């Protein structure tokens, strides 16, 4: 029974072919395509308003050099939100519960921000490794600590997204199993458990959106340090 709880995180296969590529492609098909009309429908208008507001808030602290990342960061935000939300549907697979996928997104983007900082302003980029006014005996220790913290950033990005979604999915499945088992024996307790399950589902919807936003926000903060 314990192993079956983790079966939902296994990448689905069909005839030995992994279907994770299909799961990653599906969100792009669901987005409504903007039309050339002057007046659009409510869904496209809401989508455009959300993208504009998010892009405005995300790029507010960045200078003009960081505005080149607007399309990439906004697309990544929409992509992660859609994957996380689709994963809450029954009998679906959530690709963002795979650490390999999240690290594959986090490491190249983090590395790109570091390379940009080393290319555009190497002195300032290296200056982050040693705070100003550090006593001379502490300089080697602080450089090692700051270097380790720099390389931990992509790991924290990937693990944070994976851990939050995995914990939420496991908790939902555990409570749903408890409600199903308690229904014939203690209906009142089962109803209360179902209410808790409903509230937890609402919380997981919020977590799915917040974690996607946090992932992109931290990337923008790393970019802000290097542009």
Q: Is residue 25 part of a domain?
A: yes
Domain count, the chain: 1
Q: Is residue 1 part of a domain?
A: no
Q: Is residue 32 part of a domain?
A: yes
**CA-closest candidate to residue 152, choices 206, 110, 109, 199:** 110
Q: What is the DSSP string of 169-210?
A: HHHHHHHHHHHHHHTTT-HHHHHHHHHHHHHHHHHHHHHHHH
**How far, in Å, are 23, 86, 101, 215 from residue 93 at the CA level?**
7, 8, 13, 20
**Tokens read off for 143:** 């450089």
Q: Is residue 156 part of a domain?
A: yes
Q: Is residue 55 part of a domain?
A: yes
DSSP 3: H
135-187 residue pLDDT tens = 888 788 888 888 898 899 999 999 999 999 999 888 998 898 888 888 888 88
pLDDT at 1: 46
**CA-closest candidate to residue 161, choices 220, 84, 107, 74:** 84
Task: Decide the pairing of beta strands 17-18 and 13-14.
Answer: antiparallel
Q: Is residue 37 part of a domain?
A: yes
Q: Is residue 2 part of a domain?
A: no
pLDDT at 44: 80
Asked if 165 and 87 touch (Cβ cutoff 8 Å), the reply is yes
Q: Is residue 169 part of a domain?
A: yes
- Give the global pTM: 0.83
Range of the domain at 125: 7-226
Regions of the chain short of the pLDDT cut 70: 1-7, 34, 39
């Amino acid at each position: 029974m314990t192993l079956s709880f983790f079966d939902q995180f296994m990448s689905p296969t069909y005839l030995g072919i992994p279907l994770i590529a299909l799961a990653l492609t599906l969100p792009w098909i669901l987005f409504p395509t903007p039309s050339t009309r002057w007046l659009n429908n409510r869904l496209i208008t809401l989508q455009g308003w959300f993208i504009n507001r998010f892009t405005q808030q995300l790029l507010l602290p960045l200078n003009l050099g960081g505005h080149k990342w607007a399309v990439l960061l906004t697309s990544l935000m929409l992509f992660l939100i859609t994957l996380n939300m689709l994963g809450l549907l029954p009998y679906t697979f959530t690709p963002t519960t795979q650490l390999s996928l999240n690290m594959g997104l986090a490491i190249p983007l983090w590395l790109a921000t570091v390379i940009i900082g080393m290319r555009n302003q190497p002195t300032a980029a290296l200056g982050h490794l040693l705070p100003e006014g550090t006593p001379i005996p502490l300089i080697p220790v602080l450089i090692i600590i700051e270097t380790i913290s720099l390389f931990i950033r992509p790991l924290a990005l990937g693990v944070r997204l994976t851990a939050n979604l995995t914990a939420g999915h496991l908790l939902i499945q555990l409570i749903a199993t408890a409600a199903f088992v308690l229904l014939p024996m203690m209906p009142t307790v089962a109803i209360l458990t179902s209410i808790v399950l409903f509230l937890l589902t609402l919380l997981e919807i919020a977590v799915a959106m917040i974690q996607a936003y946090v992932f992109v926000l931290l990337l923008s903060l790393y970019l802000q340090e290097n542009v």
